[in-house]
Structure formats: structure tokens, C-alpha cells
Amino acid sequence: MSNPEELLELAQAWATQRGRTFAPELVDTAIRLRDSYDGLEAHRWPARTVEHLMLVRWPSHGPHGVPDVAALVASLDTFWRFLRSTGRMAGGSAEPAALAQEAKKAGKRMAAACTDDRNFGSNKILLGFGEEIGVTLDDATSIEEVQERFQRITDAWNALPIDERRRRTPGLDALEAEAGAEGVDDGYEWTADLSEPATSAPHLRASEFVATLRALVDWVGAGREVTSTGALRPVIARAAVDALGLGEWDRSWRSAMDCLPLHRLWLAAVGTELVELRATKAVAHPEAWPTSDREWVAFGLAAVHELYDLAIYEGVEYPLTELLFEIDGHQGAPKKRSAVADWWWQSPGNPLAGPEHDAVMRPISDDTLAGCLEFFGDLGLWTERAGYLIGTDFGWDCAVYLAATHSPDGQEFEG
């Protein structure tokens, strides 16, 4: 497959021959944003990712200001038609006509999304702050100068009072609210392309994860003893493993945190406030279970947030977001479980990928994917039919959420 620069040159020539609108700088920005933050190649355009690009990714990480939306929509339409007509469009991509319709619909809301600072990502906010204090990266002549200027911006930012930093980052507060903080009913305002709660929530409610979490909350009841670190005491944890059917307790485990099946449930229960940690015991709050579909989805995103941090520690988080986009159940490309390892090995989002027959890294890549599928497999993010993994609406919501909150560089704001 041609690299992005070659694709743009070929697309420009193709558009010129046919008299079609094509602004290469706009398409180049779109390609770079999708590649850097969503792990999507220039020739891969699954359904619903255009709306995500225009209403989430561009406002959060793209250039300041509003692009020429009409030119962007027309140029993307030309690019998609070029890819399809020349056989370069990746499998699993939507048809150009469907992508164009999606772009036109999103284009009506793009200007508002790009001017709403609640949608801005951390780097975009920092660079805008740098312009306010007279420090810009635009005319830097070396990587060392870029780093020095960015450090000056960061230092000045961190010197601001914390209330001022919070005032300047309303979107980050909104994302935290979406993850289960106060104001959960305001959750869906931070992004425009989540699924309808009525179609997303049932997948989570019916999941094995929720069933086991309910059993844990019921088991905790009025109180179970915990250590000073907030974990169940080992003897209590062993009883929980037996009561919940989580397998055999390994005699080498010294802490409840050593038992991964129990630890992931515990983190989710505490993080979603179904279990409260007190000085020496944990107390269940079954009244904290969500009731409406909207609350259920927000609850699920909060649980995924807790589990994702643990998955990072376990080293199995890498494939999740890209996999969920790839197997989106509406117009995506459901994949045979047996073929997923090959797909992940060839994915640009795989940090372990290398030569096709790499005898060292390929087994590690396969193990990472297998660990990811096992770790997140009980959450209702996908279903499996006839050996195919098919993403659910809740899986799509989690992909959008993770793409917005966990950038590949892992950088976060202080304070």
C-alpha cells in the first residue's frame, strides 16, 4: 500500500484529471489525525469513523479554528472515490457514497464542535495557552527548540492556580463526569457519535461481567474486612474467590490483588461506587446500580476506565480500541477469531509489529492480543457468531471513549 504522501500525490493527479475538488492540506491533516490518535491507515475508512474524525478528533487535536468545512467534505469525497476506483480502499471500509453522506451530516455540526473549548484535547489547550503568552512552536527550527519551547509552555501552565487550569479545561472535567463522577446525566454532551443508550445499555446489562459484579456486591453486603491498601484481606479474598466461582486460589498469592479475576471486579466495584472503602472494611451500596439506559452506559464507561488502567499494568490494552473500531457491528468488518491475530500483527497500531516472519515478536504480539480478548471478553463489547467477532453498540461507545481519553502518547495534564 502506498504511503500517505504518495496517496495524496496520486489523489491530486486523479482529481485534477476529473475536475474534482481536492485540498491536499485538509486531507493530509485528516490522515495524520486518524493515524496518530486512532491507529487508522489512510486507506481504511470504516463507517462512523468520519463523524468521529470531524466532531471529535479534529476539534480535540486538530488545528485551532474552523477549517473550510465544505472544502474538507468535498476533498474527502474525492479521496474516497479515488481509493475505491483505484482498488486502494481497505477491506471493511464503507462505500464512498455512505462516507460522503456521513461527512455532510457531520459537517453541519463541525464548526460548533471546533469552537467549543470543551472539545479541546490537552495538547491543543497547551499550544493555545502558549500563543497567549507569546510562545509558539510554528517557527522553531530544530527538535531541541521545539522541546525547549514546549517545556516553557508547560512550566507556565503548571504555575497557574489549579482553579484557573480547571477553568481552561472544561472538556477534561466533562470526560471525568462521563466516567462516573457527579453529573452523570450530562454525560453524552462531550461527543456527538455515541450510540443510542437504548441500544447500547442492553449489551452491558446482559454481560457476564455485570452478573459477576452483582454477585460480588451482594457478597460484600454490610461489610468485609480490608487491608490498609483497600484490598480484601487474603483469607477473605479466598472466600470471595470460592463464593463467586473465580477459580482456585493459588497458595503463592500474598494479596487479593494477586488474583486477577477478583482484582478486576474489585477495582470496578470500588471505582463505580458500588463498594465503599472505609478504615477497616468495605461496604456494598447496591442502591448505586444504574437504572436508566443512559446511566448504564455511563456506568459501563466508568468500569472500562478502571479496567483499562489495570490492563495497562498487565500489558494487554494495546489492541482494544482499534479492534473495537475494526469489528463495529453496523457497517464494520466482523472478523473470524482465528484471523484476528494476523490482522493485529499487520495493524499500524501494533507497537510489536515487524517483519512477517519475526520469530521473536510475533508470539508476543499474539499473546498480547489473546490477553486482551480474555481480559475484556466478558463486558459485552462484542458478540461471537459462527466464529466471528462482531462489535456491539456498547463496544463502539467504549472505542469512542477510549480514543478520546487515552491518546497513544499517554500524556495527561497535571492537576
In a shared domain, residues 143 and 97:
no
Write out the residue range of the structural domain in which residue 241 sits.
Answer: 218-286
158, 231: one domain: no
Q: Determine, yes or no, domain membership for 145.
A: yes
The answer to whether residue 359 is domain-embedded is: no
Three-state SS for 151-184 is HHHHHHHHCCCHHHHHHHCHHHHHHHHHCCCCCH
Which residues, at least 6 apart from 45, have a Cβ–Cβ distance to it below 8 Å?
80, 83, 89, 90, 93, 94, 99
Q: Are residues 57 and 147 in the same domain?
A: no
Query: Residue 149: inside a domain, yes or no?
Result: yes
Last residue of a domain, one of 267, 286, 305: 286
The answer to whether residues 49 and 73 belong to one domain is yes
Is there a single domain that holds both residue 223 and residue 158? no
Sorted by sequence, the CB contacts under 8 Å of residue 136 that are 6+ apart come out as 127, 130, 149
Domain membership of residue 42 (yes or no) is: yes
- List the chain pLDDT tens, one digit each, 415 residues: 457 888 999 999 999 999 999 999 999 999 988 877 666 789 889 888 899 899 988 998 888 899 999 999 999 999 999 999 999 988 778 899 999 999 999 999 999 999 988 888 777 888 888 889 999 887 888 878 888 888 888 888 888 887 787 788 775 543 333 333 233 333 333 344 678 888 889 999 999 999 999 999 999 999 999 998 889 999 999 999 999 999 999 989 989 999 999 999 999 999 999 999 988 899 999 999 998 888 999 999 999 999 998 999 898 998 999 899 888 866 557 788 888 999 898 887 788 876 655 677 888 889 999 999 999 999 999 998 888 898 999 999 999 888 877 654 443 333 3
Q: Is 127 in the same domain as 157? A: yes
> 88 in a domain, yes or no?
yes
Cell 452506559 belongs to which residue? 297
Number of domains in the chain: 3
Looking at the structure, do residues 14 and 111 belong to the same domain, yes or no?
Answer: yes
On whether residue 404 sits in a domain, the answer given is no
Domain stops at, among 97, 119, 141: 119
CA dist 93 and 79 (Å) reads: 13
The verdict on 155 and 87 lying in the same domain is no
Decide if 353 contacts 343 (C-beta within 8 A). no
User: What number of other Cβ atoms are within 10 A of residue 293's Cβ?
Assistant: 17
Q: Is the same domain home to 54 and 73?
A: yes
Q: Which three cell numbers stand for residue 93?
A: 471500509
Residue 354 lies in a domain: no
- DSSP state, 248? P
**Residues 131, 227: one domain?**
no
H/E run at residue 5: helix 4-18
Q: Are residues 110 and 12 in the same domain?
A: yes
Cβ pair 84, 96 in contact under 8 A: yes
**Domain final residue, candidates 271, 286, 301:** 286
Whole-angstrom distance, CA of residue 400 vs CA of residue 35: 15
Residues 32 and 78 occupy one common structural domain: yes
d(CA 211, CA 222): 19
Residue 313 maps to a domain = no
